[in-house]
Structure 1
Amino acid sequence: MKLIVQIPCFNEEATLKQTIQEIPRVIKGIDSVEVLVIDDGSSDRTLEVARQAGADHIICHTRNKGLAATFTTGLMESLRLEADIIVNTDGDNQYPGNKIPELIQPIIEGSADITVGDRETRKLQHFSKTKRILQKLGSWGVRKLSGVEVADAVSGFRALSKDAAININIVSKFSYTIEMLIQAGEKKLAIQSVVTGSKKTDRSSRLFKSVPQFLFLSGVTAVRVYTMYRPLRVFSKLGLFFILVGIVPIGRFLFLYLNGDGDGHIQSIIIGSILIVIGCFVVIAGVLADLIGFNRKLLEQILILERKRSLTMDFKEKYHDKKNEENDD
């Protein structure tokens, strides 16, 4: 069984060496451990440090594409390298490498498809009280949207089985953490939280400039992905809201009319009718979006089958090349 630890990097020359060196190379139940560094267009010595630190594989983006794209590049390359389990960690060394064996154990045992490292942010002294509260609320919101029980929804320290990696298709540009969980919940993948803790990092996040920006981008991502997978539920509730609001002024007019005071309140009928029509159109839009969603699911199934076919072809080519080399000897 092969484990590949992928490290998305952007200007991580100061911490990458330690991150790689702390990754255990011998793990019970794993035949080989390899390190894959994905350099997302770094302008510093990240690439050189990765080579010197002993990374087994390195991929470079010609320009910075963002964390979500870099994560996806790592997944696809890890699958091409025949990984059975893929661990994602950060290049800033905030996640403890010695916890990787515990992180992947549920996948080895077959009780989970994806595991997510729980930093236990409520215990981290280097996290402000506000940040701990926001993390707790954010994880609660993601649990409600995804239907999966995960203690630390935005933790980047996570492991995936080969089948889970094949089934995940990240389309967000901001980050992969929330979208992966919503997708995994929709696709009925088994997810477990594993307590791993976290280390203090000296630099600020390069993913966002401020906490409000992070909250806004994370919220937009969560709503967009949830709507993509469950459009009928979202649009139906929104449409029903408009319809119920529209009933209020119409009801007001009818009440006044039955009591002999209907004159001069025709605007209530107009406003209520407009709101009800808007609500009906929103519901119709939800039905159409749901039909489009079925088409998207079919395309996803085709994509997954193509990935499996491609991986099978790569394996056969390598097997035949190895046989030819043995025959030549």
Structure 2
Amino acid sequence: MKLIIQIPCLNEEHQIAATLADLPTEIDGIDSIEILIIDDGSTDATADVARKHGAHHIVRHNRNRGLAAAFSTGKEACLKLGADIIVNTDADNQYVGADISKLVAPILRGDADIVVGDRQTATISHFSPLKRFLQKFGSNTVMKFSGVDVEDAVSGFRAFSRHAAKNLHIVSTYSYTIETLIQAGQKRMAIESVPVGTNLVERPSRLFTSKRSFITNQVATIFRIYAMYRPLRFFGWIGLILFSIGALPILRFLYQFFIMGDGTGHIQSLILGGVFVILGVIAGLIGLVADLIARNRRLIEILLEKE
């Protein structure tokens, strides 16, 4: 059983040595452990320092492409290297390396396809009350959209079986954390959470510059991915809302014209209602076409899985 620990990096020459030193070298049930660094266009000596401190493999982006792209590059490289289990962790040593054994245990037992490290954010003293609230609210939102029970949806500390890694295809340009959960939920993969420890990270996040940008990007990702994997429901609800808005003035006009005998003066409402009804129908048709495209994409994914 081969485990590869992948670490996306961007200008981490001062932190990567400590992160690598914290990783386990032996885990029960694992025959070999290798480390793969994804250098996402670093302008410092990240790759050299990582190689010096024990990284077995290094793949590099010529320019910074973002966390989602770095994760995908690492995942594909791990699969080519024959990984049976892939663990993703952060380069800033946020997560306790020894807890990787907790992540891989459910996969080794055959109980899970994906295991997410739960930081138990409500108990982390250096998290502000706002950050704790946002983590809880975000995780609950993801659970509703994905249908999976994960307490820390944006945790980057997670393990994937080879089967799960081959069946996840990241299209987001921002982050992979939410998208992988929504995809996994739609594909009925077995997902578990395990409590993990964290270390205090002094430097600011490299993924987002503010809480506002983080929320905006994550919300956009949720709706984009949900629309991609559940298009009929997504556009169906939009169409139903538009249709309902349009039906109200039309019904009002019919009431005034047929029952009260005076529909004059309400023609503008009738036109406006007709526009909304047409928009609702169009949204429903878009949902139907998008659903057919989504099913075709699924057939293509099945063909790719069999290669």
Report TM bin, short chain: over 0.9
Counterpart mapping for 1:211-226 below 5 A: 211-226=211-226
Match of 1:289 in 2: 290
CA distance in 2 between counterparts of 1:297 and 1:260 reads 55
Unaligned runs of 5+ in 1: 307-329
CA distance in 1 between counterparts of 2:292 and 2:26 reads 49
> Are residue 164 (structure 1) and residue 164 (structure 2) matched?
yes
1:20-61: per-residue Cα shift (whole Å, max 9, x none)? 111110111111111111111101110111011111111111
> Are residue 267 (structure 1) and residue 280 (structure 2) matched?
no
Match of 2:210 in 1: 210
Match of 1:112 in 2: 112
1:191-236: per-residue Cα shift (whole Å, max 9, x none)? 0001003222111111111111111111111111111111111111
Match of 2:142 in 1: 142
CA distance in 2 between counterparts of 1:243 and 1:80 reads 50
Give the aligned length: 306
Q: Secondary structure at the match of 1:125?
A: coil
Q: Secondary structure at the match of 1:224?
A: helix
Counterpart mapping for 1:1-329 below 5 A: 1-257=1-257, 258-306=259-307
CA distance in 1 between counterparts of 2:41 and 2:268 reads 59
Unaligned runs of 5+ in 2: none
CA distance in 2 between counterparts of 1:261 and 1:244 reads 23
CA distance in 2 between counterparts of 1:65 and 1:277 reads 41
Alpha-carbon shift at residue 119 of structure 1 (Å): 0.6
What amino acid does structure 2 have at the position aligned with 1:56?
Answer: H
Match of 1:309 in 2: none
Alpha-carbon shift at residue 255 of structure 1 (Å): 3.0
Q: Secondary structure at the match of 2:87?
A: strand
1:268-287: per-residue Cα shift (whole Å, max 9, x none)? 11111111111011111111
CA distance in 1 between counterparts of 2:220 and 2:243 reads 25
What amino acid does structure 2 have at the position aligned with 1:98?
Answer: A
Q: Which piece of structure 1 moves more, 297-306 or 52-61?
A: 297-306
CA distance in 1 between counterparts of 2:60 and 2:247 reads 58
Q: Report runs of 4+ in structure 1 exceeding 3 Å deviation.
A: none
CA distance in 1 between counterparts of 2:168 and 2:81 reads 17
CA distance in 2 between counterparts of 1:75 and 1:166 reads 9
CA distance in 2 between counterparts of 1:262 and 1:81 reads 73
CA distance in 2 between counterparts of 1:59 and 1:277 reads 51
CA distance in 2 between counterparts of 1:35 and 1:214 reads 29
CA distance in 2 between counterparts of 1:225 and 1:105 reads 29
Alpha-carbon shift at residue 85 of structure 1 (Å): 0.7
What amino acid does structure 2 have at the position aligned with 1:272?
Answer: G
TM-score (norm 1): 0.91
What amino acid does structure 1 have at the position aligned with 2:203?
Answer: R
TM-score (norm 2): 0.97
1:112-166: per-residue Cα shift (whole Å, max 9, x none)? 0000000111111111111111111110110111110000000000000111111
What amino acid does structure 2 have at the position aligned with 1:178?
Answer: I
